[in-house]
Structure 1
Amino acid sequence: MTGDAAPEPPDDQGNRNVENAVMFGFFVVLVVAGIWLLGTMADIRKVQDCAAQGRRNCATIEVPDRGR
């Protein structure tokens, strides 16, 4: 045996790369869902605060874009 032989990489290195990619994708989906959930909760809180103050017409008013 000589000390010049390079160690062989493990056979499951390809599987590990796929696992890392899947975990990263799951993490990205989780972060995006969390951001969406926080935005939705903020909108609901605004409507509830408006209604708790006794106001009417607390729903969001959609204004169409005026494109030329």
Structure 2
Amino acid sequence: MKNQRITLPDDDHRVLQFRLRDAARLPTTEDGDAPTATILPFRRDLPQVDHLPETDGADQAPSDFRHRMLTNIAALVLTAGLVLAGIWLATSIAEMRRTQDCLLMGRHDCAVITAPR
């Protein structure tokens, strides 16, 4: 198969200008235009947001805390149950595999017999 390359004419390329949203705050050049490519350091002079309410957690109801703790306990119990079920399932599968391997080898003493007490 022949190599096929896509060739574009040289006049088909365009460079797009990137304009920041807060172009009014950018430093300007001598002629009054904002520079087109400026790398700005981290700006510490940005205004603080004052319209958000101050929250210290005192306005939350105690029942909200109780509900969160109950939800966390329920999640912990569910996770522990899933882990225990996974361990039980893994040991059951391993035991069945040992028994099947024993039977496939032709042995007759594969089953575990518990003695009565």
Q: What is residue 17 of structure 1 aligned with on the other side?
A: 69
- The equivalent residue for 1:33 is 85
- Quote how far apart the aligned CAs of 1:51 are: 1.0
Q: CA deviation at 1:15?
A: 0.6
Higher helix share: 1
Q: CA RMSD in A?
A: 1.9
- Please say if 1:48 is aligned against 2:100: yes
CA distance in 1, matches of 2:81, 2:75: 10
Residues 9 and 55 of structure 1, relative CA distance in 2, 3 Å threshold: farther
Identity %: 35
> Which of structure 1's runs of 4+ aligned residues deviate more than 3 A?
none
Structure 1 segments unaligned to the other structure (5+ residues): 1-5
Q: Deviations over 1:8-47 (max 9, x none)?
A: 1523222111000000011111111111111111111100
SS at match of 2:111: coil
Q: Which structure's CA Rg is the greater one?
A: 2
What's the counterpart of residue 3 of structure 1? none
Tell me the equivalent position of 1:61: 113
Normalising by the residue count of structure 2, what TM-score does the alignment of the two structures yield? Answer: 0.44
